[in-house]
């Protein structure tokens, strides 16, 4: 796998002539200027992907989609690692492709295979589905969500795109566990007033427990969660709702009376 070819330095990662600046280790003395990708991932996270795909992806990837790309560095990284037939990448930012990204695409003749869409909110279900339809008819093989890391938008993207995956396709959500990391638990955190994606993972566990027809399996790591698409067809993908995949038992009258009794004591 290409993960073995990555060269990690203190503040950058190198891959066959490409330079990825590790944004977590940014400093004032960087000399790279614009001659690099900005990369909001670190070695620990990439090592988790390496373990996930120790023997390579389970099958060749036709179309993949990435949500949240900053300046396009992660899209270039995944294209080099996974070599999909087509990679569609979106970001809510208006910044557009960096000059380094544009030169990368042009030098490799990837104009038709690596497509970026800017000013796209991941919670805009209709826009996401229309982009997929315009760029490459479903099914998708892989989706990687590294966008808002907030429960509502993350769930909206999942409900929009998960039905478009082929059977056995994978939907990956990065950094789902931030609410359990001390640096994001204080009142000054960028996520202070947001609902954590842990709630979505709990719902996905319920879906797997209910039936493997739609959500076939989950693999949970500290930096990412991998959800496998089941075989169930969806007649109207635009109407897919995760809650419809979940069956929950109702409390028995006896349990309910006991619960109410504890409240009035």
Domains and CATH numbers, the chain: 42-264 (3.40.50.150)
Mean pLDDT of 78-97: 95
3-state secondary structure of 180: helix
The answer, yes or no, to whether residue 46 has pLDDT greater than 70, is yes
Mean pLDDT of 91-104: 94
Tell me what pLDDT residue 82 has: 93
Tell me what pLDDT residue 58 has: 66
Which range is least confidently modeled, 18-22, 57-61, 96-100, 244-248?
Answer: 57-61
The answer, yes or no, to whether residue 259 has pLDDT greater than 70, is no
Q: State the residue for tokens 């970026």.
A: 116
Tell me what pLDDT residue 265 has: 59
The answer, yes or no, to whether residue 103 has pLDDT greater than 70, is yes
DSSP per-residue string spanning 107-169: HHT-TTTEEEEES--TT-HHHHHHHHHHHSPSPEEEEEE-S---HHHHHHHHHHHGGGEEEEE
What is the pairing mode between strands 140-145 and 165-174? parallel
The answer, yes or no, to whether residue 117 has pLDDT greater than 90, is yes
Share of the chain above pLDDT 90, in %: 75
The answer, yes or no, to whether residue 56 has pLDDT greater than 90, is no
The pLDDT confidence band at residue 253, using thresholds 50, 70 and 90, is confident
Tell me what pLDDT residue 2 has: 82
What would the pLDDT profile of 203-233 be if each residue is shown by its tens digit?
999 999 999 999 999 999 999 999 999 999 9
3-state secondary structure of 216: strand
Tell me what pLDDT residue 256 has: 60
244 vs 57, which has greater pLDDT?
A: 244
Predicted TM-score (pTM) of the model is 0.92
The answer, yes or no, to whether residue 127 has pLDDT greater than 70, is yes
């Amino acid at each position: 796998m290409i993960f073995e070819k990555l060269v990690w330095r203190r503040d950058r990662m190198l891959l066959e002539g490409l330079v990825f600046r590790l944004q977590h280790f940014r400093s004032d003395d960087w000399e790279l200027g614009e001659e690099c990708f900005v990369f909001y991932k670190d070695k620990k996270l990439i090592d988790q992907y390496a373990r996930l795909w120790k023997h390579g992806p389970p099958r060749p990837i036709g179309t993949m989609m990435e949500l949240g790309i900053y300046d396009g560095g992660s899209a270039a990284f995944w294209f080099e690692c996974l070599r999909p037939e087509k990679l569609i990448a979106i970001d809510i930012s208006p910044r557009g492709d960096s000059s380094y990204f544009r030169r990368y695409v042009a030098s490799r003749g990837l104009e038709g295979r690596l497509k970026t869409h800017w000013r796209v909110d991941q919670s805009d279900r209709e826009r996401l589905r229309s982009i997929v339809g315009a760029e490459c008819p479903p099914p998708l093989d892989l989706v990687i969500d590294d966008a808002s890391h907030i429960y509502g938008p993350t769930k909206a993207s999942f409900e929009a795109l998960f039905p478009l995956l082929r059977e056995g396709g994978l939907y990956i959500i990065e950094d789902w566990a931030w609410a359990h990391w001390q640096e994001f638990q204080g009142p000054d955190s960028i996520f202070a007033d947001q609902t954590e994606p842990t709630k979505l993972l709990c719902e996905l566990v319920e879906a797997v427990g209910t039936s493997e027809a739609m959500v076939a399996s989950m693999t949970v790591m500290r930096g990412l969660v991998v959800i496998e698409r089941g075989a169930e067809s969806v007649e109207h993908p635009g109407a897919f709702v995760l809650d419809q995949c979940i069956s929950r038992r109702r409390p028995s009258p006896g349990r309910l009376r006991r619960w109410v009794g504890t409240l009035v004591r």
